Amino acid sequence: MNVGQTIINGLALGALYALVAVGLALVFGVLRLINFAQGELITAGAYTLSLTTNWPVIAQILLCFVVCIGLSVAIERIAFRPLRGAAPATTLVATFAVAFALEAVWLIAFGANGRPAGPLSTLNTIAIRGSLNLRWITIVEIAAGLVLLGGTALILNRTSIGLQMRAAATDFRTARLLGVRTNLVISFAFVIAGVMAAVVALLYTVQTPLVTQTFGLDITIIALVGAVVGGLDRLWTATAGGFAIGFATSVLGDVLPASQEKFLTAFVFLLVILLLLLRPGGLFTGFGRTTVERV
Amino acid sequence: MSRLRSVQTLLASIGLLLVVALIGSGTTAATQQNFITALISAIIVYGLYVFVGNSGVISFGQISFVAIGAFSAGLFTIPAQPKHFVLVGLWSFIADHTVSNFASYLIAAGLGALFALIVGLPLMRLSGIAAGIATFAVLEITYNLFLQWTKIGPGPTTLSLVPISVGVWEALLGAVAAAIVAFLYQSSRRGRLLRASREDPAASQAIGVNVTRERWLAFTLSGGLCGLGGALLVHQLGSITVDQVYLELTFLTLAMLVIGGSGSLWGATVGALGISLLDSWLSAAENTVHVVFFSVSLPNGASDLILGVIMAAMLLFRPQGVTGGAEFSLGFVNRLRSRRSRAGVEPSRTGVEGEPKPTLEQDMQPTQGVESRAER
Amino acid sequence: MPEPALEVEALEVRYGAVPALRGATLSIEKGEIVGLVGPNGAGKSTLLHAIMGALPIAAGSVRFEGRPLAGIPTERIVRQGLALVPEGRHIFPDLTVDENLRLGLVGRGSTDGIAEDLERVRTLFPVVHEFRGRQAGLLSGGQQQQLAIARALVSKPRLLLLDEPSLGLAPSVVETVWNTLGEIRSTGVTILLVEQRAQITVGFADRTYVLGDGRVKMELGPQDADDTERMVEAYFGS
pLDDT tens string B84-115 = 877 777 877 777 788 888 889 999 999 999 99
Alpha carbons B197 and B214: distance in angstroms, whole number: 9
Query: How many angstroms separate the CA of residue A11 from the nearest CA in chain C?
Result: 29
How far, in whole angstroms, is CA C124 from its chain's centroid? Answer: 17
Extended beta strands in chain A, E state: 115-116, 126-128, 134-135, 210-211
DSSP, collapsed to helix, strand or coil, labels residue B115 as: helix
Chain C residue nearest residue B368, CA to CA: C15
Whether B116 has a pLDDT exceeding 90, the answer reads yes
Is the Cβ of A256 closer than 8 Å to some Cβ of chain B? no
pLDDT tens-digit map of B3-32: 666 788 888 899 999 999 998 888 888 888
Whether C2 has a pLDDT exceeding 90, the answer reads no
Residue B201, Cβ neighbours under 10 Å: how many?
17
Core vs surface per residue B41-50: b (16+ CB within 10 A) or e: bbbbbbbbbb
Is the Cβ of A291 closer than 8 Å to some Cβ of chain C? yes
Contact C151, C100 (CB under 8 A): yes
Angle between helices B168-187 and B265-285 (to 10 degrees): 150
Alpha helices in chain B (DSSP H): 3-25, 29-48, 54-55, 62-77, 80-86, 92-96, 101-123, 128-148, 168-187, 189-199, 201-206, 211-237, 247-260, 265-285, 302-317, 331-343
Residues in chain A within 8 Å Cβ distance of C51: none
How far, in whole angstroms, is CA A12 from its chain's centroid? Answer: 14
Q: Poorest-confidence range of B5-19, B280-294, C1-15?
A: B280-294
DSSP state of C136: G
Alpha carbons A278 and B130: distance in angstroms, whole number: 11
How far, in whole angstroms, is CA A154 from its chain's centroid? Answer: 19
pLDDT tens-digit map of A201-226: 999 988 888 888 888 988 998 999 99
Where does the pLDDT of residue B336 fall: very low under 50, low under 70, confident under 90, or very high at 90 and above? low
Where does the pLDDT of residue C101 fall: very low under 50, low under 70, confident under 90, or very high at 90 and above? very high
Alpha carbons B207 and B195: distance in angstroms, whole number: 14
Write out the DSSP string of B232-272. Answer: HHHHHHS-B-GGGGSHHHHHHHHHHHHHH-TT-HHHHHHHH
- The two beta strands, C207-212 and C59-64, are unpaired
Q: Poorest-confidence range of A112-116, C101-105, C116-120?
A: A112-116
- The two beta strands, A115-116 and A126-128, are unpaired
Alpha carbons B337 and B329: distance in angstroms, whole number: 12
Whether A292 has a pLDDT exceeding 70, the answer reads no
- The two beta strands, C33-37 and C207-212, are parallel
Whether B2 has a pLDDT exceeding 50, the answer reads yes
Phi, psi angles (nearest 5°) of residue C81: 125, 20
Whether B370 has a pLDDT exceeding 50, the answer reads no
The backbone region for C71, taken as left when phi is positive above 0, alpha when psi lies in -120 to 50, beta otherwise, is: left
Whether B363 has a pLDDT exceeding 60, the answer reads no
Contact A254, A6 (CB under 8 A): yes
**Model pLDDT, residue C40:** 78
**Single-letter code of the amino acid located at A147:** V
Whether A197 has a pLDDT exceeding 60, the answer reads yes
Alpha carbons C56 and C16: distance in angstroms, whole number: 11
Q: Which of B320, B357, B368, B370 should we substitute to test contact with C (largest number of C Cβ atoms within 10 Å)? A: B370
Evaluate the CA torsion angle B205, B210, B214, B216 in order and state its sign.
Answer: positive
Q: Under 8 Å CB-to-CB from A207, ≥6 apart: which residues?
A: A124, A137
**H/E element, C12:** strand C6-15
Alpha carbons A91 and B360: distance in angstroms, whole number: 10
Where does the pLDDT of residue B359 fall: very low under 50, low under 70, confident under 90, or very high at 90 and above? very low
Whether C9 has a pLDDT exceeding 90, the answer reads no
Alpha carbons C138 and C220: distance in angstroms, whole number: 39
Cβ <8 Å between B355 and C20: no
Phi, psi angles (nearest 5°) of residue A283: -65, -40
Q: Under 8 Å CB-to-CB from B71, ≥6 apart: which residues?
A: B146, B152, B153, B159, B230, B234, B240
> Residues A77-80: contacts with CB within 8 Å, 24+ apart?
A77/A187, A79/A37, A79/B312, A79/B316, A80/A31, A80/A33, A80/A35
What's the rounded mean pLDDT across residues A32-46? Answer: 90
Contact B12, B18 (CB under 8 A): no
Cβ <8 Å between A173 and B375: yes
Contact A139, C112 (CB under 8 A): no
Query: How many angstroms separate the CA of residue C74 from the nearest CA in chain B?
Result: 11
Q: Which of B121, B133, B144, B258 should we substitute to test contact with A (largest number of A Cβ atoms within 10 Å)? A: B133
pLDDT tens-digit map of A222-259: 999 999 999 988 888 999 999 999 999 999 888 888 87
pLDDT tens-digit map of B46-61: 999 999 999 988 899 9
**Model pLDDT, residue B361:** 39
B353 CB-contact burial (10 Å; exposed 0-12 / middle 13-18 / buried 19+): exposed
Q: Which residues numbered 317-376 in B keep a CB inside 8 Å of some CB on C? A: 352-355, 367-370, 372, 374-375
Q: How far is it between the farthest Cα atoms of chain B?
A: 70
Q: Which of B166, B176, B276 is nearest to B232 (CA)?
A: B166
What's the rounded mean pLDDT across residues B287-291? Answer: 63
Whether B371 has a pLDDT exceeding 60, the answer reads no
Residues in chain B within 8 Å Cβ distance of C47: none
Cβ <8 Å between A94 and B316: yes
Q: Under 8 Å CB-to-CB from B140, ≥6 apart: which residues?
A: A265, A266, A269
**H/E element, C162:** strand C159-163
Evaluate the CA torsion angle C169, C173, C179, C181 in order and state its sign.
Answer: negative
Alpha carbons B172 and B178: distance in angstroms, whole number: 10
Interface A:C, Cβ pairs < 8 A:
68
Q: Under 8 Å CB-to-CB from A30, ≥6 apart: which residues?
A: A165, A168, A169, A172, A185, A186, A189
Phi, psi angles (nearest 5°) of residue C26: -160, 165
Whether C235 has a pLDDT exceeding 80, the answer reads no
Whether C124 has a pLDDT exceeding 80, the answer reads yes
Q: Under 8 Å CB-to-CB from A24, ≥6 apart: which residues?
A: A34, A35, A38, A193, A220, A223, A224, A227, A232, A238, A242
**Single-letter code of the amino acid located at B119:** V
| Helices and strands (H, E) in chain C, number of each type | 9, 10
Give me the half-sphere count of Cα atoms (radius 13 Å) on the Cβ side of residue B287.
4
Q: Could you tell me which residue, A112 or A193, shows the higher pLDDT? A: A193
Whether B375 has a pLDDT exceeding 50, the answer reads no
What's the rounded mean pLDDT across residues A119-142? Answer: 77
